[in-house]
Amino acid sequence: MSNQEVVVLSVGGVRYVTRASTLQQFPESRLARMLNHDDWEFKLVNGEFFVDRDGALFSYIMDFLRTLQVSLPTDFSDYQRLRREAEFYGLHPLADLLSQEHLLKPRLEILEVRFSLQEMQAFFRIFGSCSTTVEALAEQITVFTGQQSGQSWSSPFPSQKTLVPLPLERPSHHDMVFQCGTEYSAGDQFVARYVSIKPDNRKLVNGTNVLGLLFDTLLKDGFRFISARTVTSEEKVECYSFERMKRPPGLTVTVNQTPGSSGVAQAGRGQMQKGK
């Protein structure tokens, strides 16, 4: 790589090394004009471009130029300051994205697990404030059914007999219902329902074991257990509540290639869409 392709910037004393093509993503920006020595704010000192701006926030500017996406940490709060930096550098698409602050802020997500035991069966109902989380969890949970003899129904693991997967009940996009355990069928036969939760490969019939595995799954997925309460003492329905801060999907700017631009990306204000 030639020296002309590598650009070194010192922003508020913080050193950044990047490609010239990265800085030229938006030809009308001050960073692109800087390479032509057309902006007095950028001083060339010992081969490095120096600018007296916020060096820490410039890391987000560089991330945007490299990915064309705004993806900020969950604890980020300097939206207005970063927007001012984007406006200073002439990166108007980035400034436009940052103006949609409500789309970039993390959101508190609540999930409730209702659990009840009735004789040899356990019933679960999961409700989540975010439908995509519930959809993802529904893809992890599988219920299997099969017949067991009276002597083996209490085994925590299924026999070698074929088990048939059952669809989860989905009353709405925000909740799901399933059960596990055994119920009397005929003679000494019992119908058993087992629950498996990916990535764990076990098929569990005991409701307490399933509840424990579900807890572990939620905690590993970033949820925090916050409370437990009894919903109805008569039916012994327990409700367990979890919460987590959910990072929003990144916002992406659409960049168009135009004839005569020598392959340099161009974008105007308002050419925005949600990221993948």
Position 62 scores a pLDDT of 96
Position 148 scores a pLDDT of 65
Position 190 scores a pLDDT of 79
Q: What is the CATH number of domain 108-150+160-246?
A: 3.30.1410.10
All structural domains of the chain with their residue ranges: 6-105, 108-150+160-246
**Low-confidence residues in the chain, pLDDT < 50:** 1-3, 153, 257-276
> In 3D, which of 3, 51, 10, 2 has the Cα closest to residue 29?
51
Position 20 scores a pLDDT of 94
Position 159 scores a pLDDT of 55
Distance CA 10, CA 41 (A): 12
Instruction: Report pLDDT digits (tens) over 222-276.
Output: 999 999 998 876 768 999 999 998 776 666 776 554 433 433 333 333 333 433 3
Output the pTM of the full model: 0.62
> In 3D, which of 83, 17, 22, 96 has the Cα closest to residue 54?
83
State whether CATH 3.40.50.1380 applies to domain 6-105: no
Position 257 scores a pLDDT of 42
Position 170 scores a pLDDT of 95
